[in-house]
Structure 1
Amino acid sequence: MKLSKLYSNRPFHNVTFITKKGGLNAIVADSQKEDGTGNQHCVGKTKLADLVDFMLLKGVDKSFFFYKDSAKEKFSGYEFYLEILLNDGRYLILKRSVDTPTKIAFKLNEKSKDGYPLIDQFDEILALEKAKGKLNELLNFDFCKENDEAYRRLINYSLRTQGDYEPKMNTIFQLRKFTKNKDKDWKPLLFSLLGFDGRLLKQKYELEDSIKEDNTSIKNQEKSFGIKTEEKDSLVGKIQTTQIERDKLSKELDNLNFYQKDKETINTLVGEIEYEIALLNTQLYQIEYEIQKLSDSIRNEFSFDLEKVKNLFEEVEIHFPQQLSKSYEQLIDFNHQITQERNSQIRQTIDEKKQQEKDINARLSELNSRKKAFRDIIQDTSLFKKYAIYQKNLVEIERELVRFQAQLEEIDKIEKKKTEIEEKQKGDLQDVKDKLKEILDNTANCTLYMSIRRSFSEIAKEILNDNAIIKIVPNNTFNIDFRPEFPNSAKSDGATYYKILCVAFDLAILINYRDKSHFRFVYHDDVISGDDNGVKNRLIELCRNICERHDIQYIFSAIKDNLPPNMNLESSIILELNDKNDEGKLFKMSF
């Protein structure tokens, strides 16, 4: 993939990049003010690199130069178009505007369009994140497919600006955009790029993070529950003594018998007892009345005097027949027999009623005793105070017991988690470390790494006349560092020499990925600097030769005064900027 054109609908120095084989692209900034107040650094050469990054779908915020307070009104309405040459030979135009930077338009063409067409008919218009996925698909980089990576993660190894040459920050490998990231966010990527199994290194970081998270979780659990696993036996002892205390207090509460009922319940019971007493008294009165009535109804004999009847008949001189006298005698005997039977039944009923009376009186006696006992309890407040204290103490003890048991359960969980951590450390993590050790002990077996390192050393040697190498340095925990080194000097500490090492590394990557679908351009902003014209000449010539030999597009920006004398770059200069007036600046305005 190479850059083809970059242009705009508003004032801007449109750029056509050299894409043909051997294409060296130079962007030159010059000071043309005659009063000596010129500033070659403020004409837009670095902004061009930022704009290319923007057009390759970099996410932006208010800190990006378009959106700063001093510039946002001036850039309102700007639309930019980037045409890129895909590795399959087709041309892709991307459109992105300043006002709506999250909407990206795509137009795919078989050939490059003439001039700088402001096209308005596109194949697709996508939101930024989907557009990144679409561009990743169209670029079709082998490395991205094989390692499940995105082109945006690789782009700054092909697009370096001034902040990407910092020796103290090791930005040759840890690009500026990764400086605030953790090792796991970029080292597996670079490990893969150098030809090793980056997924293995990523797995190591994930396992270490998992173990770290587990240990943090354990500390939080211990802090939250106020426990330490080494105090488990002490906690078991506390549970035992607390249970003994609870059982003792429960027994004391049980000994209070029914007194444990609260006052409200007792009042309810007294009401129920009084109601039953009232019912029983009514029943008792009824039974006593019935007994009295039954007693009064008992008769000793049938009251009929036959002699008086005979005398009455004689007085009125009426004959009293003998047969009638006999019938009356029989009636008297019959009545006497019935009366005896009736009286017997009445006495039996009286006996039953008296037993009921006795039972009711016994029940009343019992109920009155219970009522008196309950009323005594109601009047005895000290008993309830004692019960309340016991009950409160029991609740506190139960709560303490629950807390101890919860702590014990958490200790069990923590011990289980510690076992899992130990298994991870001795198992999965150690397996990964063993595999990494095997790789790092045998780096010479990695063909791609050895080839990249050879290219790096050859480029550095040709430009700087000194040997330089890339080395991978593992520590005891197999945390890997990537370092450049001049074995025989300290040149790698100098800014100028460090820039050359960045150039050497980026070119070494492109050279060794040339046979695959990958970036085929590299853009180095402000790489030509320093006082050593020999280094500058060798750098430019070497880049020209690499472009020719490997069909790589090399783009660099430089201040004109920093270019070596007698270097013929006319055919390579694609953009000249100056500070004579706004017309000479990249956006043809100051901001």
Structure 2
Amino acid sequence: MRLSKLYTNRSDLFEPVFFKAGLNVIYGEIRLPENKSRDTHNLGKSTLGRVIDFTLLSKRDPRFFLFKHEDVFSPFVFFVEVKLNDNSYLTIRRGVSQASKISFKKHNEKHQDYVSLADDHWDHLDVPFARAKELLDSLLDLSAIKPWTYRNGLGYLIRSQDDYNDVFKLRKFGSRDAYWKPYLSHILGFDADLLVRHYQKEEELSKKEDAESTVRKELGGSVEDVSKIEGILLIKQQDAEKKQKLLDSFDFRQQDKEKTKYLVDELDEKIAELNRRRYSLNQNRKKILKSLEEDKIIFNTEDAQKIFQEAGILFSGQVKKDFDQLVAFNKSITEERFGYLVSEKSEIESEISKISSELNSLGKKRSDTLSFLSDTEVFNKYKRLSNDLVSLRADIEALERQKRHIHRLQELRAEIRGLSEECSHLQSEIENNVEQQNSEKTSLFSQIRLHFSEIVDDVINRKALLSVSPNSEGHLQFKAEILDESGNSTSADMGHTYRKLLCIAFDLSVLRAHLGEKFPHFAFHDGVFESLDNRKKENLLAVIRQYADMGIQSIITLIDSDLPHREEEESSVFDESEIVLQLHDEGEKGRLFKMKAW
């Protein structure tokens, strides 16, 4: 698959671009002095790649310039002519206003103009977008990338400036590795099916773990033993069957017997015991109250001295002092005892209160039981028993539901264990496959990494390493590094200039490794020489030409200031035949779209 021609129904505003089999240069010339220091020039050399992507059925994006300025571009209909593996050609028609309607025409001669082709001459007319992508994938017949479609790898074939930030992960891939790592591993020669299955099992495992968490929440945080639930359920079901039989037979003798036994054996005995306890506590309380009254000290030494003086009896200071000390001693003992008595009184009153409350509750139960036994109306007994049965059945339903949740929880945990084991097994297989492809000198990956290192070495005289290894979760990690003279990795690849070089080297090395297969054989690289020094530009151009001679169609864009500078002024960097589109900044005629900037 190579590009042959790109044109529109408005040739006055967008001139046709004829692509060659080898090197194709999109050359922008900055002629106005005031524009030479600017970073961007809006000539359209970068836009060309986006237009090619549009004709190859990129999805509709409102931020894409054709749709963002649809009022300007709605009249445009684009045509791209592609050379197929069997040396025939395919023309794809896609308009801006009806971007979801695609038409196809196969032909044997190149550089056709089908702008005015009648509808009945198209092989497939106005095919809906989703079906059109499937049809185009079939017509391109890129069997070397199956089971993926041609769109999966198109980002590596049409590199915009935004796609030089990472050699492997393109901007459009987003955050999910499962969208791009299997495809990338496939074209590098690894067993991508293992990765696909591993990601699928991980997704299943994640869903099961979420379901298990939901079931645990539904159980209220307490997961009972299923055996215990089954036992309680069995007892309640038996009780419900007995009550149902009583209701069915309308015979309440057994129920009366049970109520009488409950009344005599439990309620009356409990009430009597509580009454005995309350009586005992009340007696203790009375004793404490009496002790609190008796412990008051009523002797006062001041009053005693006054009485003695009135009687004419000597009551010396020493005697008064001794009495005062005695009173103080008794008072300290009395206060300590008083504290114990008050504390005990409080505990007794609290227990009396609890007993009284419990006696009230038991009294109500006793009253209800006696009411049942004394009720001569069968209907009332039937109603009460029915209420008991309804309550039992509600309990049974709740237990059944809990049992189902526990069974489901057990099933989920078993499935989680099984999926975890499958993930571990797949991880082992992935590790073995990666080790095998890394160690085999004749493997596809070994070929690609050699081509990759050769390209970087030819351009900057440094070796480069392409490596693939699984992490602790079994996910492949891809690295592209520049090595120093000792073979150690350096930080040189962290700069934008060298990172771009690594991207170009990777794309070309992959294309070279797949040259003999039904695989895309073109690459579009925007701003290919930017930031490189003069000698490295010459080296990179030599590599691109070398790969073009092998059969790889290279489409590169640059402006005149990025050209390698040669001492001989008459020596041109490119042959005229290599420049397929020349742009400049002297008015609208020099732009890709010959109109005012939008």
The TM-score, its normalising length taken from structure 2, stands at 0.71
Per the TM alignment, residue 383 of structure 1 is displaced from its structure 2 partner at its CA by 7.9
CA contact (8 A) 2:93 2:104 kept: yes
- 2-structure distance, mates of 1:385, 1:211: 56
- 2-structure distance, mates of 1:85, 1:155: 16
Tell me whether 1:186 sits opposite 2:180 in the alignment: yes
Per the TM alignment, residue 561 of structure 1 is displaced from its structure 2 partner at its CA by 2.0
Per the TM alignment, residue 396 of structure 1 is displaced from its structure 2 partner at its CA by 2.6
The alignment yields a C-alpha RMSD, in angstroms, of 3.1
Tell me whether 1:400 sits opposite 2:395 in the alignment: yes
- State the match for 1:470 in structure 2: 466
- State the match for 2:564 in structure 1: 564
Amino acid at match of 2:208: D
Tell me whether 1:513 sits opposite 2:507 in the alignment: no
- State the match for 1:204 in structure 2: 198
Distance change in 2, residues 1:28/1:244 (3 Å): same
- State the match for 1:163 in structure 2: 162
| Secondary structure of 1:471 counterpart | strand
| Secondary structure of 1:405 counterpart | helix
- State the match for 2:32 in structure 1: 33
- State the match for 1:350 in structure 2: none
- 1-structure distance, mates of 2:112, 2:132: 25
| Secondary structure of 1:112 counterpart | coil
- 1-structure distance, mates of 2:376, 2:160: 88
Distance change in 2, residues 1:389/1:491 (3 Å): farther
Question: Which of 564, 575, 594 in structure 2 is aligned with 1:588?
Answer: 594
| Secondary structure of 2:539 counterpart | helix
CA contact (8 A) 2:7 2:79 kept: yes
Tell me whether 1:498 sits opposite 2:492 in the alignment: no
Distance change in 2, residues 1:389/1:498 (3 Å): farther
Unaligned runs of 5+ in 2: 255-371, 483-487, 567-571
Per the TM alignment, residue 536 of structure 1 is displaced from its structure 2 partner at its CA by 2.0
Per the TM alignment, residue 249 of structure 1 is displaced from its structure 2 partner at its CA by 6.7
Question: Which of 451, 458, 483 in structure 2 is aligned with 1:455?
Answer: 451
- 1-structure distance, mates of 2:467, 2:33: 49
Distance change in 2, residues 1:116/1:384 (3 Å): closer
- 2-structure distance, mates of 1:385, 1:43: 96
Could you say which structure has the larger radius of gyration?
A: 1
| Secondary structure of 2:103 counterpart | strand
- State the match for 1:573 in structure 2: 579
Moved more, 237-246 or 524-533: 237-246
Question: Which of 414, 417, 422 in structure 2 is aligned with 1:422?
Answer: 417
CA contact (8 A) 1:228 1:411 kept: no
Name the count of aligned residue pairs. 462
Aligned positions of 1:351-430 closer than 5 A: 388=383, 390-426=385-421, 428-430=422-424
| Secondary structure of 2:208 counterpart | helix
Per the TM alignment, residue 237 of structure 1 is displaced from its structure 2 partner at its CA by 5.6
- 2-structure distance, mates of 1:88, 1:400: 74
| Sequence identity percentage | 31
Amino acid at match of 1:565: H
User: After superposition, what is the alpha-carbon deviation per residue over 1:357-392, rounded to whole angstroms, capped at 9, x for unaligned?
Assistant: xxxxxxxxxxxxxxxxxxxx9xx7998667545533
- State the match for 2:296 in structure 1: none
Per the TM alignment, residue 473 of structure 1 is displaced from its structure 2 partner at its CA by 2.0
Aligned positions of 1:300-339 closer than 5 A: none
Distance change in 2, residues 1:114/1:391 (3 Å): closer
- State the match for 1:113 in structure 2: 111
- 1-structure distance, mates of 2:376, 2:559: 100
- State the match for 2:479 in structure 1: 483
Distance change in 2, residues 1:152/1:514 (3 Å): same
- State the match for 2:211 in structure 1: 217
- State the match for 1:136 in structure 2: 137
| Secondary structure of 2:47 counterpart | helix
Tell me whether 1:74 sits opposite 2:59 in the alignment: no
Tell me whether 1:442 sits opposite 2:441 in the alignment: no
| Secondary structure of 1:41 counterpart | coil
Per the TM alignment, residue 205 of structure 1 is displaced from its structure 2 partner at its CA by 1.4
Per the TM alignment, residue 92 of structure 1 is displaced from its structure 2 partner at its CA by 1.6
- State the match for 2:329 in structure 1: none
| Secondary structure of 1:433 counterpart | helix
Per the TM alignment, residue 448 of structure 1 is displaced from its structure 2 partner at its CA by 0.7
- 2-structure distance, mates of 1:114, 1:257: 99
- 2-structure distance, mates of 1:559, 1:228: 70
Distance change in 2, residues 1:381/1:586 (3 Å): farther
- State the match for 1:12 in structure 2: 13
- State the match for 1:59 in structure 2: 59
User: After superposition, what is the alpha-carbon deviation per residue over 1:537-572, rounded to whole angstroms, capped at 9, x for unaligned?
Assistant: 211121011111x11110111233223223612432
Amino acid at match of 2:187: L
CA contact (8 A) 1:33 1:579 kept: yes
- 2-structure distance, mates of 1:4, 1:177: 26
- 2-structure distance, mates of 1:198, 1:490: 30
Aligned positions of 1:201-350 closer than 5 A: 201-226=195-220, 229=223, 231-236=225-230, 238-239=232-233, 242=236, 257=251
Distance change in 2, residues 1:227/1:578 (3 Å): same
Unaligned runs of 5+ in 1: 261-376
CA contact (8 A) 1:467 1:488 kept: no
Per the TM alignment, residue 221 of structure 1 is displaced from its structure 2 partner at its CA by 2.1
CA contact (8 A) 1:456 1:470 kept: yes
Per the TM alignment, residue 519 of structure 1 is displaced from its structure 2 partner at its CA by 0.8
- State the match for 1:352 in structure 2: none
| Secondary structure of 2:93 counterpart | strand
Per the TM alignment, residue 509 of structure 1 is displaced from its structure 2 partner at its CA by 0.8
The TM-score, its normalising length taken from structure 1, stands at 0.71
- 2-structure distance, mates of 1:393, 1:477: 56
CA contact (8 A) 1:472 1:481 kept: yes
- 1-structure distance, mates of 2:35, 2:204: 61
CA contact (8 A) 1:522 1:553 kept: yes
CA contact (8 A) 2:527 2:557 kept: yes
Per the TM alignment, residue 431 of structure 1 is displaced from its structure 2 partner at its CA by 3.4
Distance change in 2, residues 1:531/1:504 (3 Å): closer
- 2-structure distance, mates of 1:102, 1:569: 39
CA contact (8 A) 2:201 2:423 kept: yes
User: After superposition, what is the alpha-carbon deviation per residue over 1:72-117, rounded to whole angstroms, capped at 9, x for unaligned?
Assistant: 1111211111111112111221111111111212122211136786
Per the TM alignment, residue 198 of structure 1 is displaced from its structure 2 partner at its CA by 0.7
- State the match for 1:335 in structure 2: none
- State the match for 1:101 in structure 2: 99
Per the TM alignment, residue 523 of structure 1 is displaced from its structure 2 partner at its CA by 0.3
- 2-structure distance, mates of 1:244, 1:105: 74
- State the match for 1:282 in structure 2: none
Moved more, 90-99 or 28-37: 28-37
- State the match for 1:330 in structure 2: none
- 2-structure distance, mates of 1:522, 1:155: 9
Distance change in 2, residues 1:207/1:517 (3 Å): same
Distance change in 2, residues 1:258/1:50 (3 Å): same
- 1-structure distance, mates of 2:48, 2:96: 15
Per the TM alignment, residue 15 of structure 1 is displaced from its structure 2 partner at its CA by 3.9
- 1-structure distance, mates of 2:224, 2:389: 29
- 2-structure distance, mates of 1:581, 1:228: 77
- State the match for 1:83 in structure 2: 81
Distance change in 2, residues 1:119/1:489 (3 Å): same
Per the TM alignment, residue 521 of structure 1 is displaced from its structure 2 partner at its CA by 0.6
Moved more, 231-240 or 193-202: 231-240
- 1-structure distance, mates of 2:6, 2:247: 91
Aligned positions of 1:523-538 closer than 5 A: 523-538=524-539
| Secondary structure of 2:53 counterpart | helix
CA contact (8 A) 1:39 1:579 kept: no
- State the match for 1:334 in structure 2: none
CA contact (8 A) 1:200 1:432 kept: yes
- State the match for 1:48 in structure 2: 48
- State the match for 1:288 in structure 2: none
